[in-house]
Structure 1
Amino acid sequence: MVRCGLPVLRKYGSFIDNLRIYVRGGSGGMGLLRLGGEGGKGGDVWVVAQDGMSLKKIKDKYPSRRFVAGVGANSSIRSLKGGKGNDCEIHAPVGISITNDDGQVIGELNKKGDRVIVAHGGRGGSFVTNFLPSKGQSKIIRMDLKLVADVGLVGFPNAGKSSLLSQLSHAKPKIADYPFTTMRPEIGKLMYSDYKQISVADLPGLVEGAHLNKGMGHKFLKHVERTKQLLFVVDVTGFQLSYKAPFRTAFEAIQLLTKELELYKAELLSKPALLAVNKMDLENAEEKFKELMQQLEKPEAFYHLLPEEVTPLRPVQFHHIVPVSASTKYGIEELKNCIRKSLDDQDDLENEQYRLEKLQSLHSSTFKCT
């Protein structure tokens, strides 16, 4: 746990993050018995990643949510080999996971141009099938949007995530002084002098019990899965969701965020993490920050002071801890540089691991007995 030493550093509205649709491949064409002709294969249904698309656009453009590919052409005297039916392409946003109705993953679209076939067309009739064609596959599929970003902001409502993102990047998320400020996920781009760009996602604020799908629950947590690193954002003065909810200090807020991620999917805590301690412009912020740093030096020593439901199995080891103020821009450049350094370090580590695995693979194949 270190301070970065670099000099410059639910109401979702109309937003839809999952969609259920019907897809069917085209039937094959009839074969021609007397001449041994073969019918054309039915068209396939594909989902293709395209910029500028959203699940809402698909829903609005195709109210029936039915996508059917073309039928294969029949064999004829003029064309003994029938032509293939037209494929059906569903243009979808980047960053979606496609599953069947049983929850089995069919594929993912992680970048523009990625394609996944979701329903195969039927075979054309031939001598193998007594010249009778087969029907195309038909099924219900789900398209589930999961953001793809380098860094995901993790915090409770009113921690200042949206304000922080607007200072870090050119994003303009809707900001207001009430809980659940973030109406929908927002992605900002951090720009550096060497033209490096880093994407940062501001995700809807968590509430206690998010792992049980309370508040925005799983709608928040599933987006965390598709980020390389986590940036925890806490209010240095503490947090209270409502007058009925318990007050949480900054230290308690960090542990509770950790607990929610742990209960949802423990693997999320294996991601590299940074901590931005926000609202350092407030009165007594420096004293509270010093107290927080002392607690984070040996967090387990303070676990006995926490309610059991707040206590994680193990604390998060932050790569960098940066005090900031989104309202005054204090610490913003330092935080930007810490984010860059943390991602660069991760890339270096992954490249080194890949190099070692490649060497090990070559070594094993060289000395393998034949």
Structure 2
Amino acid sequence: MVFILRILFAAKDIKRPRNYLRSKFLDSIRLHVKGGTGGTGLPKFGGLGGQGGCVYCIGKEKSNLLSISNKYRMKTISAGHGEDSRKTKIVGNPGKDVQLEVPLGVTIYREDGNSMGSIDIEDQTIIVARGGPGGNPQNNFLGHFGQTYHIRLDLKLIADVGLVGFPNAGKSSLLKAISRAKPRIANYPFTTIKPNKGIIQFEDLRQISIADLPGLIEGAHNNIGLGHKFLKHVERTKLLLFIADVQGFQLSPKYPQRSCLETVLLLNRELELYDPELLEKPAILAVNKMDLEGAQDIFEEVKHSLKNIEKAMDSIPKEIRPEKGIVFEDVVGISALKNDDSIQDLKFLLRKRLDEYAEENNPDIVDARDIFKRNRAVLTEKGPQVT
């Protein structure tokens, strides 16, 4: 009895992680799925067994991997078995399918690493375990087992804009200022420990999704820190928004102090080493904390260096020097904490660049806009009509 009490009291003394450190976000889970077995046929009457049910994933915007994990942890997701054929019912009913709602942006992998497909739009479906065929003349009226797989659901956030920056650069402050999101903000690194997604709402009801992702550190491409857990989410964004502290960044005394320009180039290098194709995405650089003394001079120096990047590279340490410098569409100064006019200017700049991106990748959009303008002009000339 004394021993049990000691264990109970000791358990109370164990320090539990603070609430904000208990992440409620999952971007990868493993599941065991099993298709239903086909029903047995009836040879005497030529009866056919029912097809086994299938397990399939369907895309839903409001779904999340955490709820799926909580519901199916340590369980097999099994579809229903096909009904056997009998005298009173020659053709058996098929087994019941299982519908697994998953968030948009999920890629499904089998245990051998092969991809079964991705779900990117609402109500898109992928069968992950087919049911076995029912008994028929071709299989001697014996129903077959359904497919059985261990699968992995890997989520990569789908967003129009992805925020890229080192810890404490002001990404969460910017997300709060620019959208309706309410991320945790504090004056120390690694405030963001899970991705946050916000929506920029314009007066004409246009919406832009923006993702604040956990801060990178040097070596993230080698999975140091949050590493790949962060970088994989950048792949599904249309535009990259780099955030850099005008004063530079130093993670800890073990790391050297990096200037604002060095920070930008180091972010460039981490993306390059993870996936060089990321450098082909449209990108904007926002230099934050412009309300600090001397910030304007540093900002002008950074802009000048980025325009003459080949010459500026000579002064950059080799260990952080990228092979290919990213080309920024725009370089702007902002003050995320002050939430001044610079934030509004950035909002409309993001919209402008995303519209240009859409027109380049979807030429039909231009034609559709011309038709809309022509129709609106015709209606304006005719004036209001009474029906």
- Aligned residue identity for 1:67: I
Asked if residue 335 in structure 1 is aligned to residue 355 in structure 2, the reply is: no
User: How far apart, CA to CA, are the structure 2 residues paired with 1:168 and 1:327?
Assistant: 11
Q: Tell me which of 287, 298, 314 is aligned to 1:277.
A: 287
Residues 59 and 65, structure 1, Cα contact 8 Å, conserved in 2: no
1:13-59 deviation digits (Å, cap 9, x = unpaired): 23211000000100100010111111111000011122432111111
Indicate the SS of the match to 2:56.
Answer: strand
After TM superposition, the structure 1 = structure 2 runs for residues 176-187 of structure 1, keeping only pairs within 5 Å, are 176-187=186-197
Asked if residue 321 in structure 1 is aligned to residue 321 in structure 2, the reply is: no
User: How far apart, CA to CA, are the structure 2 residues paired with 1:149 and 1:293?
Assistant: 27
Residues 42 and 69, structure 1, Cα contact 8 Å, conserved in 2: yes
Shift of 1:279: 0.3
Shift of 1:192: 1.4
Q: Which residue of 1 aligns with 2:357?
A: 346
Q: Which residue of 1 aligns with 2:306?
A: 296
Q: Tell me which of 173, 183, 200 is aligned to 2:210.
A: 200
Q: Tell me which of 95, 105, 110 is aligned to 2:115.
A: 105
Indicate the SS of the match to 1:336.
Answer: helix
Asked if residue 64 in structure 1 is aligned to residue 67 in structure 2, the reply is: no
Residues 120 and 137, structure 1, Cα contact 8 Å, conserved in 2: yes
Q: Which residue of 2 aligns with 1:365?
A: none
Shift of 1:193: 2.0
Q: Tell me which of 132, 136, 139 is aligned to 2:146.
A: 136
| Identity level (%) | 48
Shift of 1:258: 0.8
Indicate the SS of the match to 2:313.
Answer: helix
User: How far apart, CA to CA, are the structure 2 residues paired with 1:354 and 1:338?
Assistant: 19
Shift of 1:113: 1.4
- Aligned residue identity for 1:290: E
CA distance 1:65–1:208, shift in 2 (3 Å): farther
After TM superposition, the structure 1 = structure 2 runs for residues 73-84 of structure 1, keeping only pairs within 5 Å, are 73-84=83-94
Q: Tell me which of 93, 97, 100 is aligned to 1:87.
A: 97
1:273-325 deviation digits (Å, cap 9, x = unpaired): 01111000111101111111111111111112222221111111111111000
Indicate the SS of the match to 2:303.
Answer: helix
Residues 31 and 72, structure 2, Cα contact 8 Å, conserved in 1: no
User: Greater relative contact order (Cα 8 A, min sep 6): structure 1 or 2?
Assistant: 1
1:67-116 deviation digits (Å, cap 9, x = unpaired): 01000001111111111000011122222111111221112121321211
User: How far apart, CA to CA, are the structure 2 residues paired with 1:101 and 1:282?
Assistant: 52
User: How far apart, CA to CA, are the structure 2 residues paired with 1:119 and 1:354?
Assistant: 38
Residues 322 and 334, structure 1, Cα contact 8 Å, conserved in 2: no
User: How far apart, CA to CA, are the structure 2 residues paired with 1:12 and 1:162?
Assistant: 18
Indicate the SS of the match to 1:56.
Answer: helix
CA distance 1:70–1:338, shift in 2 (3 Å): same
User: How far apart, CA to CA, are the structure 2 residues paired with 1:326 and 1:296?
Assistant: 22
User: How far apart, CA to CA, are the structure 1 residues paired with 2:366 and 2:60?
Assistant: 33
User: How far apart, CA to CA, are the structure 1 residues paired with 2:360 and 2:137?
Assistant: 57
Using the size of structure 1 for normalisation, the TM-score is: 0.91
Show structure 1 runs of 4+ deviating over 6 A. Answer: 353-356
Shift of 1:354: 9.4
After TM superposition, the structure 1 = structure 2 runs for residues 1-370 of structure 1, keeping only pairs within 5 Å, are 13-330=23-340, 331-352=342-363
- Aligned residue identity for 1:352: P
User: How far apart, CA to CA, are the structure 2 residues paired with 1:14 and 1:347?
Assistant: 33
- Aligned residue identity for 1:45: V
Paired residues, number: 347
Q: Which residue of 2 aligns with 1:362?
A: none
- Aligned residue identity for 2:240: L
User: How far apart, CA to CA, are the structure 1 residues paired with 2:37 and 2:173?
Assistant: 54
Shift of 1:344: 0.6
Indicate the SS of the match to 1:34.
Answer: coil
Decide which structure has the larger Cα Rg and report it: 2
Give unpaired runs (5+ residues) of structure 2: 1-19, 368-387
Using the size of structure 2 for normalisation, the TM-score is: 0.87
User: How far apart, CA to CA, are the structure 2 residues paired with 1:79 and 1:18?
Assistant: 44
User: How far apart, CA to CA, are the structure 1 residues paired with 2:123 and 2:362?
Assistant: 25
- Aligned residue identity for 1:29: G
Residues 12 and 184, structure 1, Cα contact 8 Å, conserved in 2: no
User: How far apart, CA to CA, are the structure 2 residues paired with 1:128 and 1:347?
Assistant: 52
